[in-house]
Amino acid sequence: MSTHRPSVLGRAALLAALAGCASAAFASSSDDSGGRLVIPLVVHDKEAVSTVFVTNHEPFPVKTQIRYVGERSGPMPGMKVCGTVTLAASTRTTIDVRALCGLPLPSGPGMLVVLEADPGVVRLSAQARLDTISPMTGDILGTLTVGGLPFGAVDSTANVHVVPGLRQNAAGAPPVLTDCFFGTLYDGSGYGGMVGDIELRDAQGQSLGSRSFTLRPFELVALRDVFRVVGAPAGMHEGVQARVVWSGGGDAVLGYCVTSREGMQRQEVTLAFDLAQVADPNDEVRKRELVVAETPGLGAFALPFPLVQPVAFHGLYVRHPDVVSCGVLPDDPSAALVITAISPDGAQQITNQSSRTPDFGTDARGTVNAGVADLWALQVEWAPGSSGFMGVTYRIDCRSGNGTSLADVVF
């Protein structure tokens, strides 16, 4: 792989055109919208141009503050508060970030932050359309869409962030250059930043090299030619993962890698964008695996003396379609408890009369509760014939693909 060809993003600057678009646009999912958004990558130069769109889903105008965060080694490093833009009701607006933020040309790669500036709850969504352009002909070679992320969808330093599917070509093959970027938001923890340890692993899980780096709040840093940065050996590597482990106070951090490939014509480059993934978020509203023993304000989960066969109900939000399995774990191993999952519409009761449910959920929207992801009930009760107990405390554990809420006591 060539290590001397300059990165496309290293020479890039930011451009968008200031105009309003009368057609309304809608997020594809509720997870795409919020009052505070970050677009991970915006760029503009002779080889790549970003156009930024922000959609106001409210039936009234919303004033927003725009912030630009330039890459640390670029010509416009750090955060710049650019000003405010009022978004028309139920309308998608195209924002000229370069003009609004007073950015030079080139200004380097950056990320864009959109914050609601009016009081109240609002729903916004955003995206950047990134066109790669032939410097020879001016033709568009390809288009990427970089979606805006609500702050609530950005994971934290408590998780391992993974960018999969990276590649290094063998010597003599068309060069492939991969730059990895990492960005931060507010310093909620008061730690003043974080340290990331990035490691590249090949398809067999073997380490190709590693490197540490630091980040301060509202900062974007690029690890250019990441295979070279970590000291990966020369030669072909396919299916490589970039894994980042963080130290810090739990602040939000996002990562992605941009791969540039030379095209058929000299100086023509196409880009690929891969956002870092988190397989097991720590957020308590979307836990893939959970073990919970109490509800705040109500104390430990407990069943009293079983003479009258008491029953406890827990609520578990399930995001369809998914497969979920839950179990009840009494703290006294001699106690026998039974758990049953009841669908939100009450039409299904999933049990095998034991301490663990069969798999429940749905394979397609519409098969449960008219397709609405809602609150399942977990019914916990004594097993038939239980006696000799004054009561028992217990835990509930669940596993799911999409993540669930915690299983708090309902009644």
Q: What is the pLDDT of residue 127?
A: 95
Structure tokens at 314: 């827990």
The residue extents of the domains of the chain are: 9-275, 287-409
Going by their DSSP bridges, the two strands 337-342 and 349-350 should be labelled as: antiparallel
Q: What is the pLDDT of residue 343?
A: 92
Q: What is the pTM for the complete model shown?
A: 0.81
Average pLDDT of the segment spanning 326-347: 94
Per residue in 55-70, pLDDT tens?
A: 999 999 999 999 999 9
| φ and ψ of 133, to 5 deg | -125, 140
Cα separation, 184 vs 32, whole angstroms: 19
The CATH fold of domain 287-409: Jelly Rolls (2.60.120)
Band the pLDDT of 1: cuts 50, 70, 90.
very low
| Secondary structure element (H or E) that encloses residue 98, with its range | helix 97-101
Per residue in 87-136, pLDDT tens?
A: 999 999 999 988 999 988 888 899 999 999 988 899 999 999 988 877 77
Sign (positive/negative) of CA torsion 243, 244, 250, 254? negative
| φ and ψ of 246, to 5 deg | -115, 150
Which range has the worst mean pLDDT, 6-15, 71-80, 253-262?
6-15
Please give the mean pLDDT across all residues of the chain: 86
Q: What is the pLDDT of residue 5?
A: 31
Average pLDDT of the segment spanning 268-272: 68
Cα separation, 108 vs 210, whole angstroms: 26
Per residue in 30-43, pLDDT tens?
A: 678 999 999 999 98
Band the pLDDT of 14: cuts 50, 70, 90.
very low
Which runs of consecutive H residues, i.e. helices, occur in 148-284?
226-229
Q: What is the pLDDT of residue 141?
A: 79
CA angle 242, 245, 250 (to 5 degrees): 135
**Amino acid, res. 208:** L
Greatest Cα pair distance in the chain: 85
Band the pLDDT of 29: cuts 50, 70, 90.
low
Average pLDDT of the segment spanning 127-146: 83
Per residue in 395-405, pLDDT tens?
A: 999 999 989 99
Q: What is the pLDDT of residue 47?
A: 77
